[in-house]
């Protein structure tokens, strides 16, 4: 297809389906609480992950259950923060902040897993933090024109918690099957979200049921495409392609919600993308 390799096509498809997931979260989140969306996503993922495990003949519970549960906890908290930010922020801005997670993953991996941490990694981290600041546009620096600081803090917390989940996945990758690692996310997310949903339940209506189902399905498709794309493409190139999710999100924001990213938000997005892509290429070159 137009000279684009199979791995690149998988990465493009992954970015597209992840952006569609974000679009559906924002659409349904206009009325449905974010924790209810997390529960719906978790239920779909639980069923699909269990079916895939059984189909592959892999044991469900794994070996390092403590770390697997920790991965589930970090994944649940990170997704909760991300979904909340999607319902409260412009679609592109929420996506951009979430995509700063590779930088925080590198920093946490250096501390927790003793992975190498050079000056370039620190420089990328500082650049990414500057990018997040430009996207959030705090009032102290930009006047009263930015995103609610509390919402921006939740969005950044989502990126940090996602990074923590990735670090745990790295610690597990030599001992656990990938399907088991994936399975522990909904295994934790479903019961963890239930108390929040029980106290603030909103019955979905009409198309909202399809949107909630679509969130789980598009996420599953995106994850499969991402896994296959990463297996076929070098890490640096794969990372660069994955950032297509940001223009996709900006497109949906413009077409569906009439959201137009400002100049500072656009500059911040570029800074984060460049810093994260540079980091991915450096790490790929060192392996």
- Higher-pLDDT residue of 43 and 140 is 43
Q: Is the pLDDT of residue 42 over 80?
A: yes
Q: What is the DSSP letter of 117?
A: -
Closest residue by Cα to residue 42 from 162, 236, 160, 191: 191
Confidence (pTM): 0.88
- Domain membership of residue 1 (yes or no) is no
Q: Is the pLDDT of residue 109 over 60?
A: yes
Asked if 172 contacts 69 with a C-beta cutoff of 8 angstroms, the reply is no
Distances in whole angstroms, Cα of residue 11 to Cα of each of 30, 98, 102: 29, 18, 16
Residue-wise over 126-140: b if at least 16 C-beta within 10 A, else e? Answer: ebbbebbbbbbbeee
- Number of folded domains that form the chain: 1
- Sequence-distant (≥ 6) Cβ neighbours of residue 185 within 8 angstroms: 42, 45, 49, 71, 72, 75, 76, 79
Which structural domain, as residue segments, surrounds residue 240? 6-285
- Domain membership of residue 61 (yes or no) is yes
- Higher-pLDDT residue of 11 and 204 is 204
Q: Is the pLDDT of residue 202 over 90?
A: yes
The pLDDT tens digits for 119-133 are 887 888 888 888 888
């Amino acid at each position: 297809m137009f000279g684009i390799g199979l791995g690149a096509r998988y990465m493009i498809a992954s970015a597209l389906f992840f952006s569609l997931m974000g679009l559906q979260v924002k659409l349904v989140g206009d009325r449905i609480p974010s924790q209810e969306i997390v529960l719906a996503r978790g239920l779909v993922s639980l069923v699909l992950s269990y079916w895939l495990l059984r189909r592959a003949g892999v044991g469900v519970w794994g070996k390092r259950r403590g770390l697997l549960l920790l991965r589930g906890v970090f994944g649940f908290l990170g997704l909760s923060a991300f979904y909340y930010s999607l319902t409260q922020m412009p679609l592109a801005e929420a996506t951009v902040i979430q995509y700063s997670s590779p930088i925080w993953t590198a920093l946490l991996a250096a501390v927790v897993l003793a992975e190498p941490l050079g000056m370039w990694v620190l420089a990328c981290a500082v650049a990414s933090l500057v990018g997040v600041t430009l996207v959030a546009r705090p009032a102290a620096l930009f006047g009263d024109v930015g995103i609610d600081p509390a919402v921006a803090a939740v969005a950044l917390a989502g990126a940090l918690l996602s990074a923590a989940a990735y670090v745990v996945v790295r610690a597990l990758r030599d001992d656990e099957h990938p399907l088991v690692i994936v399975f522990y996310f909904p295994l934790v997310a479903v019961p963890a979200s239930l108390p929040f949903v029980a106290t603030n339940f909103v019955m979905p209506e009409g198309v909202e049921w399809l949107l909630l189902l679509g969130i789980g399905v598009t996420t599953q498709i995106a994850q499969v495409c991402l896994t296959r794309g990463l297996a076929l493409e070098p890490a640096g190139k794969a990372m660069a392609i994955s950032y297509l999710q940001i223009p996709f999100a900006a497109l949906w924001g413009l077409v569906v919600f009439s959201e137009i990213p400002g100049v500072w938000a656009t500059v911040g997005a570029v800074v984060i993308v460049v810093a994260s892509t540079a980091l991915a290429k450096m790490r790929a070159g060192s392996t």
